[in-house]
Structure 1
Amino acid sequence: MEWGKFSQKEIEMTDVSFESGAEAVKLGEIGHLKITESGYELLEYDRTKILSVDGFDHAQKKWSYHPGVLNDKVVIQDAHTVNFVNGTAIITPLDKKDIIISRNGDEEEIAFAFPNVRIGSIIEYKVKILRTSNLYASPWRFQNSIPTISSQLFLNLATTADYKTILKGKQLNRKYGGKKNNKRWELLNIPSDNVIKNVYNPDDYREKLMYQYTSARLYYGSYYSENTWNGFRKLINNDIQKSKKGADFKEIANSIRNGSTKLETLRNTVRYLRDHYQWNRHTAVQSFNLASEFLKKKTGNTADFNIVLEEILKVKNIQSEIAVNSLRSNGRIIVAYPTFSKLQTLVNIVEIDNGEKLMIDAATSQPDNLRFLSLNHYNYIVLGLEETGDVFTVVSPPLSEFISQQNLTIEDENSQVQVTNRSTGYFNSGDFKPQIFNVFRGIQTNENTKKEPDEWQVNNQTISFENPANSFFVIENPLTKTLATILVEKDRDYPIEIDFPFLTTVILNTKLPENYHLESTNFNRKISAFNGALQYLQQVELKDGEPLLTWSLLINKTVFETGEIQEYQNFTSQLSAVFSEVAVAKKVK
């Protein structure tokens, strides 16, 4: 790929064969990565074509860096826009005065917008990026937010330290897996990361290269030189023990009222910490002197909060284990590749009444809703810190429930549906819309929502129909939209991750006049997978002489590894077949 020289195919391209409708496409990108004693240098050359108006955003570039940090710098070497008029290339170079540098605290951002961009423009840039990340870094992505025709990376190891490269993504591992001394990688026709669906963080499955030092002489015995999970566990435990010296946790515990249950005591403890101490918005696995810092200054990071919580619970005879967590936004802990970057925050795994275990972050858990910690915390596994316990513990959000009771009343001039929804857990988040489970769309005339004890929320609706005198009612499956969110591609070969486990039940009671009839041939169905962790039930029965229809879907397993995909797809395929069928309530005379 030569700067400013384009093939006829590139000039004529208006769509991407393997991702039709793309707003833009990377025609090619080349990276020259040099790992040094002090970090890395990346010379990046990028060529992109704008295919639609929506693609104009890709003609704006920005990078951030810390000017006060040695070897942290971004240098824009060249950039231009190329348009083709009657077969002639019209080149508009980037003017240096259009490069904008802004500062926010100790961080600077360098940005520019390509000039004279239109549909069909080809934009090119060269940039040199210097970073201090010499122990672990992920400097190159072969898969981007738009499809990529060609992505190449060349590696130059200019350091005496040992290191290993880590390849993520199915194409990279299929082509280069096992080639330990490889220094050149290239992938062709890579779809955008938009195709990576039903995962917590697309970056966990993106085609990319990472590198990690396997020894670091200057940091012997520290987090930077460690390369095993057990080693990290020992380092963190040592830091925790040091941080607790001189702190009187019993005095704090005695000032917190015990509840009638372990859950109530836990709630009182978390509320006390949230009321008396302030989170500084930092996640961390390291705490320093709790007595002179957190407990005295009343502010601290997530490690401070969670270490103190565990100590208070010990005094109150409530079992808890501190664990290391990497949030969904940070990417999943990779068991095969211990990395410092995944040591993000501490949480507590607390055992309450009847052996139930809750994951608690003392800095962010809501005292009145302890069971349902932010989903960002549930990233499949955590690293337990108890020396005698398993290294990793699987964590999953608690089950959320949604129950919708819908009563259809058919009258000659005023048919309507009364809906009562009861929900708990993540169904009570602000983003959730209960209307997606309405059997009939109609016109909603009124709605009200209120909270009930035991974490339940009640929503009432009255639905009227656009045609009140309608005499033909199609009863479609109210879980159709939910099914659409859990379907995956047929050739799926990477894990499936569902946001949270749930049980959704919709019950439709039909009060039909004598001259109406319900047609529901072969309606009753039951489907199950994974020993009942996934279940679907639909049935029609008579209650007080009236037809009662029920649809119920249970998804009580959230992560499916590659070996489980076939069973998962068999289950969803059966659902798709059943969901396509409808029942009908109609006037017969």
Structure 2
Amino acid sequence: MKLRLFIVVFFISIIGFSQEYNTAMFVSKSDLELTSYSKDSTANALVIYDYGNSFVDRNTFWLRVQNQRKIKILRPEGIERGQFEVKLYKGKSSEEKIENISATTYNLVNGKIVKSHLSKDAIFKEENENYTLVKFALPQVKVGSVLTVRYETQSKFMSKYQPWYFQGQDPVMYSEYNTSIPGNYEYHVKLVGGIPLDTNDVSLEKSCLEVGRNGYSDCGISKYVMKNIPAYKLEDYTTTELNYISRIEYELSVFRGFDGVVKKIAKTWKNADKELETDEDFGRQISKKSLVKSVLPESISLISDKLTKAKAIYQFVLDNYKWNGKSERYDVSIKTLNKEKVGSTFEINLLLENLLNIEGIKAYPILISTRQNGLITKIYPVLSDFNYVILKITIDEKSYYLDATDPYLVFGELPFRTLNQYGRLIDFDNGSYWEDIIVNDNSIKSHSIELFSYQDDHFTGRINSNSQGYYSYSKKKQFEENSITYKENSINNYTDIKIIDHNVNDYDKTKSEFNETLNFSLEPEIIGNKIYLNPFILKFFNKNPFQLQERTYPIDFGYKSIFMYKVKIDLNDNLKIVEMPSSVNYALPNNGGRILFNTNMKDEVLTLYFKIQFNRPIYLPEYYPYLKQFMDKVVKLQNNTVIVLENQ
């Protein structure tokens, strides 16, 4: 008995004096005493424990999902984590339910643990025709509190098994999801996000469900665990969060009834191709000569060179048809488009497909999902995931992607919204296949600056700016829509220099570049007889866009980029150099990118050259610390570079 007592006392003392969070629903004093989370010092709250258990009830055959969560409030911004919402869907013949809601707030008051329980009158419901929203707020929530929440949802809708989100807006120490799926149901199971599972156990439970006449079903039992999951924090250069938040999703593939009926729910791509071929809004709008008869002028039809003809057809569609901003595949009618001259993405690009094909240029539609719509699963066809269409043509062994919805894009350029890695090329003769959507050309932004006179403590100079590819797009659009406003806004953007005049050179919206010239004057900093000049009059990046401690999703620029900056300072006979900056040559791993900065002095002219190059459109999360350091160097170089001059 003494030995047993010692063990119990020793165990309690471990719980009492442990300086770590307790990853279970039990709330310890240590949970309340700790004030931060070592793996994320910026966290507003911490999910210490997150548990889910889903199974089909033996009696009702409803899907039951038991939820348990323990949360630590670390900052005032995290207090709102004490407010919960659970969405329950309504069907034609059934509604989801919620049962057994219980929640408690734990606080440490004068060294003692004080509990505040959720009351029933703090639970509210909001209803509409599609769902019921159940809301409840825990009492006495403040910085330092620990919250525990338990509830169970019940659903008759088995077509989509209950998904599980391991990751969210707060870091998670431990997340576990248990499933028991009857053999009647076959699901495609998809793990989304780049975080690996710590536990992925699978077993079989015999006769988990039983019906009359000796009918039964075995169940597949799964246990999934992730630990130390960083928060998903939105940052620049990404697509929709649905692409990357770590979770498990289910899509019903086959249902087997106890009566022997088998229903195949998920399609194969062969089935999907047949469905698309006969679809009124897609297949029946493709390669139909009758839809585009006599649309093209004879001057285009008579062009003999295929590439020249393709460009002319593309420009004809841009000039004569306007996109209405809609992209979904429904109510597609090329006949209506020809009449009204305004239509959706599918109407405009399938019109272009017809016009190219009738002129002997084979064009294939590619179904894609836009950046904000999320990546398409490749595991099985879900046609509703596709919300856009582009085209692919090949001329003289070179491929071009086309989209005729935007007049500021040139032949072979795609809208930025479509740069979402891959799409499904539809070929009804040979079968569809996945096509990677790759932009091979670099988009370039460059400034060439000359400082050619220094008088009365002022430099005068000229800026020649050139934007190519995606960097020219917004400039062309703004200038075309209102050239006066564009120039006024451009002048107002320069706070460190005085703009004397501003000219846009050889503007042509059908070209993938934009050129402008600005004449200016600059007043450098003068201390004593020394002139301090930061040569970066214009900056590509005012601050480092990468600020997270850890990023679990890719850095997606969409395209490769080059930034170039060149400054020529004519010293004449009145200036001499006292101090010049050092050269820099810094590279990302595996030729991922480079920073170059150097200076050169020749014939009384000082030249500084600066180049930033990103060699990939997308970088995996492993690159994040390197990119963060890379951009730190870029920003510091632009902000801290100084040339010291003095009068001769």
Alignment TM class, shorter chain as reference:
0.7 to 0.9
Distance 1:152 1:427 in 2: 45
Deviates more, 1:6-15 or 1:319-328: 319-328
Q: Distance in 1 between matches of 2:87 and 2:319?
A: 38
Q: Which has the larger radius of gyration?
A: 2
Give the residue type in structure 2 aligned to 1:393. Answer: E
Give yes or no for the alignment of 1:347 onto 2:389: yes
Q: CA RMSD in A?
A: 5.0
**2:556–2:617 CA contact under 8 A, matched in 1:** yes
- Which position in structure 1 is the counterpart of 2:10? none
In structure 1, how many angstroms separate the alpha carbons of the residues matched to 2:285 and 2:421?
33
1:325 aligned residue: 368
Query: Is the partner of 1:471 in helix, strand or coil?
Result: strand
Among 402, 405, 408, which residue is 1:368 paired with? 408
Contact kept, 8 Å, 1:325 with 1:342, in 2: the verdict is no
1:231 is displaced (CA, Å) by 5.0
Contact 2:195 2:552 in 1 (8 A): no
How far apart, in 1, do the equivalents of 2:93 and 2:49 lie?
31
| Structure-2 change in CA distance of 1:300 and 1:191 (3 Å) | same
CA deviation string 1:31-90 (max 9, x = no partner): 122369999543322222221122234334334455345555363734454444322414
* Cα 1:173–1:524 shift into 2, 3 Å: closer
Q: For residue 254 of structure 1, what is the aligned residue in structure 2?
A: 294
- 1:44 aligned counterpart, secondary structure: strand
Query: Displacement, 1:324?
Result: 2.2
Q: Is the 8 A contact 2:420 2:558 kept in 1?
A: no
* C-alpha contact (below 8 Å) 2:524/2:532 kept by paired residues: no
Indicate how the Cα distance of structure 1 residues 502 and 56 shifts in structure 2: closer, same or farther if over 3 A, else same: same
The answer on 1:27 being equivalent to 2:48 is: yes
Counterpart selection for 2:328 from 276, 283, 286:
283
User: Deviation per CA, 1:67-125, whole angstroms, max 9, x where unpaired?
Assistant: 3455553637344544443224141525546625154x756644454444322233343
Q: Which structure 1 residue ranges, 5 or more long, are not aligned?
A: 435-439
Aligned to 1:586: 645
Amino acid at match of 1:28: Y
Confirm whether residue 43 of structure 1 aligns to residue 57 of structure 2.
no
Moved more, 23-32 or 392-401: 392-401
Q: Which amino acid aligns with 2:421?
A: Y
Distance (Å, rounded) in 1 between the aligned partners of 2:81 and 2:445: 41
> 1:134 Cα shift?
4.0
Q: Identical aligned pairs, as a percentage? A: 15
Alignment of 1:426 with 2:449, yes or no, is: no
Q: Specify the SS of the correspondent of 1:22.
A: coil
Residue in structure 1 matched with residue 569 of structure 2 by the alignment: 510
| Structure 1 equivalent of residue 116 of structure 2 | 91
Change in CA separation of 1:444 and 1:121 when aligned onto 2, cut-off 3 Å: farther
Tell me what 2:8 maps to: none
Matched residue, 1:268: 316
Q: Which residue of 2 aligns with 1:211?
A: 250
Q: 1:283 touches 1:345 (CA, 8 Å); kept in 2?
A: yes
Q: 1:385 aligns with which of 426, 429, 432?
A: 426
Q: Which amino acid aligns with 2:118?
A: P
Distance in 2, Cα, partners of 1:391 & 1:575: 38
Instruction: State how 1:174-253 maps to structure 2 within 5 Å.
Output: 175-176=199-200, 183-194=222-233, 199-216=238-255, 224-226=265-267, 228-229=268-269, 231-239=271-279, 243-244=283-284, 249-252=289-292
> Which digits, 9 at most, give the CA deviation of each residue in 1:494-547, with x for residues without a partner?
76533322222111121335332175576385969878x856544434576412
Q: For residues 102 and 428 of structure 1, what CA distance do their matches in structure 2 show?
A: 48
Residues 138-158 of structure 1: CA distance to partner in whole angstroms, max 9, x if unpaired?
A: 711112110112211111214
Select which of 73, 76, 80 maps to 1:53: 76
Give 1:244 deviation, angstroms: 1.3
Distance 1:107 1:450 in 2: 55
Cα contact 2:105–2:116 (8 A) shared by 1: yes
Question: Could you tell me which residue of structure 2 aligns to residue 437 of structure 1?
Answer: none
In 2, Cα distance between the equivalents of 1:55 and 1:322? Answer: 47
**1:288–1:411 Cα change, 3 Å:** closer
Correspondence for 1:139 = 163
> Offset of 1:477 from its aligned partner?
11
Give the equivalent residue in structure 2 for 1:16: 37
Question: Could you tell which deviates more after superposition, 145-154 or 292-301?
Answer: 292-301
How far did 1:551 drift?
1.7
Deviation at 1:15, TM superposition (A): 0.8
Give the match's secondary structure for 1:185: strand
TM-score normalised over the length of structure 2: 0.71
> Which of 605, 614, 620 is the equivalent residue of 1:546?
605
SS in 1 for 2:226: strand
Alpha-carbon distance in structure 2 between the residues aligned to 1:14 and 1:463: 54
Kindly state the Cα deviation for residue 548 of structure 1 after the two structures are TM-superposed: 2.1
TM-score scaled to structure 1, two decimals?
A: 0.77
- From the superposition, tell whether residues 270 and 525 of structure 1 become closer, same or farther in structure 2 (CA, over 3 Å): same
State the SS of the aligned residue for 1:176.
Answer: strand
